[in-house]
Structure formats: structure tokens, C-alpha cells
Amino acid sequence: MTPAETPLNDVDGAYLRQAIAWSRVARERGNRPFGAVVVADDGRVLAEAWCNTSETGDCTGHAETNAVRQLSTVVDRETLSRATLYSSGEPCVMCAGAIFWSAIGRVVFGIDAVRLRVFRGERGEQRDAELSCRDVFAASPHAIECIGPALIDEASGPHQGFWKV
């Protein structure tokens, strides 16, 4: 089932658009088109990142994990628990785990995994783990608010023509 689009307020929309802009940077650099921005509850941008797996050869270099790496040694968990991670795409299982371990308390994402699978033309041998970030967050002992999919058309743009079916 394809999830319905979630409406956003102006602040969330602006930061999600920043994450989508980073997904375009990732694509321009030859990587998969994903971007992330982490914002403190006072509006400070704590981290901005893009997927760099092709550039680095590091299969864990997803936008969300790159953002968490930037923060985990320099921002305290209390601040992160009140922060929001904006991601151009629904976080995968690995990224959801990194978000959980970092204590980030809120996630807003663009394109969902169901729509992304259509772009990717996934076949049996190319499939991702089919566990949603919401499932991972639901297993967390601390609350992680999850909002999305949102701005689906905008978040889908960088994926158009990228994935080879």
C-alpha cells in the first residue's frame, strides 16, 4: 500500500527542501540521490549531509548516517533528543538504527520506501530489507516522532532518470 502524503508546516517544509537540495548535490557528485539536515529545536542547523557511497566506497555512507556521524561526538544527547532529522527519503533500516542510537527525537522524510522501490525497479535480487523506519522507531524505548512521506513530488525529482531498471 502506498502511504498518503503528509502535509507540513512552513518550517518543516523549508528544512525538508534543504534535505532535498542535498539529494541533488549527491546525484551531481555521482552518488545515490539522498540528503539529510538535522535541526535543533531552536532552529540551529546542526548538520547537513548527502549520500556519498559512490565517492567513498563506504556502503554505510547514507545521508542520515553521515549526518549522525557529524553530530554524535559534538552534540549532547539531550539536544539531539529535541532535534529533527529531515531526510529526502524514508530512512532505511541502517539509518533508522543510527537515528535511534543517536537519540534524535523526530524525523521528517520526503519520498517513502514504497515509491522509491518503483523508481528503483527492484527485483528479487536487488531488494532492500522491507522493514520501515517506523517499525524500527516503534521498538525504541524512547519516542521518535516520524512524519512522512511529504513533499513527494519534490523529493521524487532527483530520482527521476537516476535508477537503472
Put simply, whether the predicted model's pTM sits higher than 0.85 gets the answer yes
CB 12 within 8 A of CB 41: no
106 CA to centre of own chain: 11
In the residue annotation, 64 being an active-site residue is answered as: yes
Mean pLDDT in the chain? Answer: 92
- Identify the CATH assignment for 12-157 out of 3.40.140.10, 3.30.420.240, 2.40.50.140, 3.40.50.11540: 3.40.140.10
Q: Where do the domains of the chain lie?
A: 12-157
Residue range 50-96, pLDDT digits in tens: 999 999 999 999 999 999 999 999 999 999 999 999 999 999 999 99
Which among 48, 55, 64, 125 is annotated as catalytic?
Answer: 64
Return the sign of the alpha-carbon dihedral for residues 145, 147, 115, 24. Answer: negative
> Looking at residue 139, what DSSP letter applies?
T
164 CA to centre of own chain: 21
